[in-house]
């Protein structure tokens, strides 16, 4: 089970590096030359989202299984704190994965393959967030629905809040010189989200 100390360590290790070292813009020409690694990164980001649900559910003592492309929790009457943590687990995982990807893109002289892979991880986070802002917002087994039920906050408010880091990360990924506040606000919003989720009562 996560503790407050472990949460603080994860936030410091995974999010703070992204605050100070902006990455160069992703070159779409590299995507044309090496689509394979980009899509490998994209599906790795998707896997991180789903793995987040599995790991958090297991840590809280709930069984989970795949129902098509959705993870469900059979025979579990989830509510309150546990529901919030499990429903948000995919977003938590993609936030961490995207910040790690930005950290490596900014701090290393990556090969085209490694940069495409990292960009794919970030693109996956952006695409998943966009899906939850649109077609998945009202899905009965969706993350937004679970968060809304657990918190009492409307689906629309939650979706718009969760879209903020994705919009800023699009800017970070594609702009050659985003303002310094863009990565700061993006990483900070993820850190605030993680803190709120794990202190929600």
Q: Could you state, in order of their start, the residue ranges of all structural domains in the chain?
A: 4-199
Do 16 and 184 touch, CB atoms closer than 8 A?
no
CB-CB neighbours of 47 under 10 Å = 13
Cα gap 94→44, rounded to integer Å: 10
At 155 the pLDDT is 93
At 126 the pLDDT is 97
At 27 the pLDDT is 75
Which DSSP state fits 177?
S
Burial 154-175 (b: 16+ CB within 10 A, else e): ebeebbeebbebbbbbbebbbe
Cα gap 93→50, rounded to integer Å: 8
Cα gap 77→146, rounded to integer Å: 12
- 183 Cβ contact partners less than 8 Å away, ≥ 6 residues apart: 18, 19, 22, 102, 168, 172
Cα gap 64→40, rounded to integer Å: 25
Confidence of residue 12 (pLDDT cuts 50, 70, 90): low
At 18 the pLDDT is 45
Whether 6 has a pLDDT exceeding 50, the answer reads no
Q: What is the mean predicted confidence (pLDDT) over 42-58? A: 94
Residue with the two structure tokens 């993680």: 194
pLDDT in tens, 68-81: 777 778 777 888 99
Q: Name the percent of the chain lying above pLDDT 90.
A: 56
Instruction: Output the pTM of the full model.
Output: 0.85
């Amino acid at each position: 089970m996560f503790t407050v100390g472990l949460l603080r360590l994860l936030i410091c290790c995974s999010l703070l590096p992204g605050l100070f070292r902006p990455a160069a813009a992703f070159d779409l020409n590299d995507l044309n030359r090496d689509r394979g690694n980009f899509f490998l990164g994209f599906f790795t980001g998707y896997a991180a989202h789903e793995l987040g649900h599995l790991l958090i559910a297991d840590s809280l003592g709930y069984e989970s299984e795949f129902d098509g492309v959705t993870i469900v929790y059979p025979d579990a009457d989830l509510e309150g704190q546990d529901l919030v943590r499990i429903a948000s687990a995919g977003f938590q995982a993609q936030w961490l994965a995207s910040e790690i990807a930005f950290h490596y893109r900014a701090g290393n002289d990556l090969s085209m393959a490694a940069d495409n892979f990292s960009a794919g991880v970030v693109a996956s986070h952006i695409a998943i967030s966009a899906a939850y802002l649109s077609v998945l917002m009202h899905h009965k087994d969706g993350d937004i629905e679970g968060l809304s039920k657990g918190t009492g906050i409307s689906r629309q408010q939650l979706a718009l809040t969760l879209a903020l880091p994705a919009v800023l990360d699009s800017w970070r990924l594609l702009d050659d010189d985003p303002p310094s506040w863009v990565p700061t606000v993006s990483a900070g919003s993820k850190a605030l989200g993680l803190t709120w989720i794990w202190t929600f009562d």
